[in-house]
Structure 1
């Protein structure tokens, strides 16, 4: 490492020879007084700090891996326990047709449950980085509504699309964002077993650095004691859920340098808001045609 110090006589250079790169802190201060002028240089070895940071990061990674392994084990062991109990009864009840039919249904359902967990985990782990290009977020929302409109109609849910007429260009991956919005819409529809309304919209407060994507349902709401866990991997309150939908959405949003938040009222519904940054080089609007509310 070389440190150069400017003096009245010229520039002096202090050289520290090392066989490998080091973390070092350098501070310089002038000394004056008594008709004399000088410098003081303080060199601080930061190798211990570097080592502490590396140890902390390694510990955090190991803790995350441990939590994931425990969650996967829990999700797979539960159906395996059910299968094991059912299989143990088969030899004694080979002539019980009703039992065998029931067993076949249980076995198929639990194997599907395991397959769903493994499949969701593989999709999550194989997630590719987004290809960032200029996009019109309104087209993303419209595409998601087209995909899910029939699913909602079959369950008595009206999907309402509302979008601002004045929306800046975003930099993003349209396919990834479509998947994120679809996951939120699917959750919203499933939260309304008796039917209801799902409102999906795009909003841009004039001059804001973020465009808002809003998905609001009129469903059951999220209990207060569960709200801190909605983005946990494998956490779900649905019998057939894998608990990877919202973590997947969060990952997509973060990869777009955005934020996701929600508000929920028990018995009234839940509103998710995704905030995505507008393109830094362009605040120009994409078209000025009003997108009317559409009842799918």
Structure 2
């Protein structure tokens, strides 16, 4: 044997051929995929004689059997290696996983052991049917019927919501998934257990009794409503009812969809269906009636593991978003204030000198017509520059205004009269509609006249030819709000610009300064009012000014396309 172990003496052929080296026969063993997997050494097989053909044939049959058996052993080794890798993966999984074969567990991972508080050795040592100690007595028959149903069908699956029992005897709610697999040549069940105890406790707290349900609903500062899958209101708290100016008794038993406008209704229906199908919480945000609502929808699970009801928690986050917007605006205003002071000091004086020099030059008697035209152009541009400076100054210091009770129609009609010549030149009709009597509210006439002029001029400039501007004055909310609505049929504002129209220096009009709507917003806020703007490019623009008759208005978001 020492002689033939030398690599020079070992045959390298893949053919099933016999070699004789003295008294030792060396046979290469070939696998099913034609790979050499080893050698068979036979010591003195023929008693030193040359074998006949019959003996060789029998030996070849024997060697073929041996070769196939070695190949089978190698295949089993590969399966074992694969199983070890699979077990390594399952051991790292947080999901409880087990393999169930012939009415006992033959494999469990650590997460499975932790779920039931038994050791791996304890679970694997159980004999047939002892595994049922992990199932609550109430659900043992459910498991038996389920296993009988799927039987040994290859690939058959099942999903159950059952009660389990841990080592201490505590009840655990489990979502049990199983699938028939072939494991070591026998039909087995691959079982995954998901702990649903917390979800079930939530469901029990919510549905256990009407009293507990009321406590849960009313304990929250959010607006809370409990719906069935079709959208019928089963219960709600006081906050939810107050959102719609209704009582709880009026809303219970009605369809929740009747409470929402069409623009948000479809999205809310989709979210409810998503909760039902996914059995997971869904969050959403939308703007309704000037408020940004953050809504969370929770599935309420029934005993069969399906969603039976939906708990909705809605919160008004308008103030939070507005605070962020105001902080951002305050930073911009601080920068504008510093810029204004610098411009007024550095530019106004030189402009005065330029204007004075141009006026003196125009008094020359021998001045030719070309120079006169240039000097008049200089004076006109100086005047335009001074107007920009004046706007900056007004924008930076409007907080000095004083409010007195007055008739808001007075500054509005003055503004219409002031802009009449401009509107007529572009063939733009201004239509004013208002009630015969309006309440007197606290206003600063001069500043309101300025912002009315600004809004009307913007509309005139947005109309190319033969358009109209409708101005409608009305009372809202039981005459607690005075609203002025300016609507034109001009070019409109692109959707992507709507969120920037109140920013200082933002303009998409050639030659514009970008302070008009920013000043409008600031002046109206100093009147404790709000400004809303809506527009569709190529169709219309609508600016709404809302003024309080008595109490300051609750802040509304002025951005229609707010990122949520």
**Number of the residue aligned with 2:495:** 224
CA distance in 1, matches of 2:459, 2:528: 24
Do 1:130 and 1:172's aligned partners in 2 also have CA atoms closer than 8 Å? Answer: no
Q: Which moved more, 1:166-175 or 1:246-255?
A: 166-175
For 1:187 and 1:161, the matched residues in 2 are separated by 17
Partner of 1:65: 334
Cα 1:246/1:58, change in 2 over 3 Å: closer
Runs of 5+ consecutive residues of structure 2 not aligned to the other structure:
1-325, 347-373, 552-564
Task: Tell me the residue number matched to 1:160.
Answer: 431
Residues 212 and 275 of structure 1 are in contact (CA less than 8 Å); yes or no, is this contact kept in structure 2? yes
Indicate how the Cα distance of structure 1 residues 130 and 107 shifts in structure 2: closer, same or farther if over 3 A, else same.
Answer: closer
User: Do the aligned partners of 1:263 and 1:270 also contact (CA within 8 Å) in 2?
Assistant: yes
TM-score normalized with structure 2 length = 0.32
For 1:121, the equivalent position in structure 2 comes to 392
Q: Kindly name which structure, 1 or 2, has the bigger radius of gyration based on alpha carbons.
A: 2
State the distance in 2 between where 1:277 and 1:153 align: 33
Deviation at 1:106, TM superposition (A): 10
SS of match in other structure, 2:424: helix
Paired with 2:507 and 2:341, the residues of 1 have a C-alpha distance of 13
CA distance in 2, matches of 1:68, 1:128: 13
The residue number in structure 2 matching 1:285 is none
- Aligned to 1:143, the other structure's residue is in SS state helix
Q: Matches of 1:177 and 1:127 in 2, distance apart?
A: 11
Question: For the Cα contact (< 8 Å) 2:423–2:460, is it kept in 1?
Answer: yes
Q: 1:70 to 1:215 in 2, by over 3 A?
A: same
Q: What does 1:243-254 correspond to in 2, within 5 Å?
A: 243-254=514-525
Deviation, structure 1 residue 246: 0.9
Structure 2 CA distance for aligned equivalents of residues 237 and 72 of structure 1: 25
Structure 1 residues 113-145: Cα deviation after superposition (integer angstroms, max 9, x where no partner): 755543321232243522211112222322221
- Relative to structure 1, is the Cα distance of residues 71 and 209 closer, same or farther in structure 2, using a 3 angstrom cutoff? same
Other structure's SS at 2:398 match? coil
Q: Does residue 200 of structure 1 match 2:466?
A: no
Contact 1:141 1:200 (8 Å CA) reproduced: no
Higher relative contact order (CA 8 A, sep 6+): 1
Task: Indicate how the Cα distance of structure 1 residues 214 and 113 shifts in structure 2: closer, same or farther if over 3 A, else same.
Answer: same
Distance across 1 between alignment mates of 2:327 and 2:485: 37
CA–CA separation in structure 2 for the residues paired with 1:158 and 1:59: 38
Indicate whether 1:240 and 2:525 are aligned.
no
Do the aligned partners of 1:166 and 1:204 also contact (CA within 8 Å) in 2? no
Aligned 1:39-188 pairs, distance under 5 A: 64-66=333-335, 115-127=386-398, 129-188=400-459
Distance 1:151 1:249 in 2: 20
User: Structure 1 length normalisation: TM-score?
Assistant: 0.57
| CA displacement at 1:192 relative to structure 2 | 0.4
Q: Does 1:271 align with 2:542?
A: yes
User: The residue matched to 2:514 in structure 1 has which SS?
Assistant: coil
1:186–1:194 CA distance, 2 compared to 1 (3 A): same
**Which region of structure 1 is more displaced relative to structure 2, 239-248 or 122-131?**
122-131
User: How many residue pairs end up in the alignment?
Assistant: 201
Q: Is the 8 A contact 1:71 1:234 kept in 2?
A: no
**1:263, 1:69 → 2: CA distance?**
31
Are 1:262 and 2:498 an aligned pair? no
Does the Cα contact within 8 Å between 1:261 and 1:272 map onto a contact in 2?
A: yes
How far is the alpha carbon of 1:206 from its aligned partner? 6.2
Cα 1:61–1:173 change in 2 (3 A) is closer
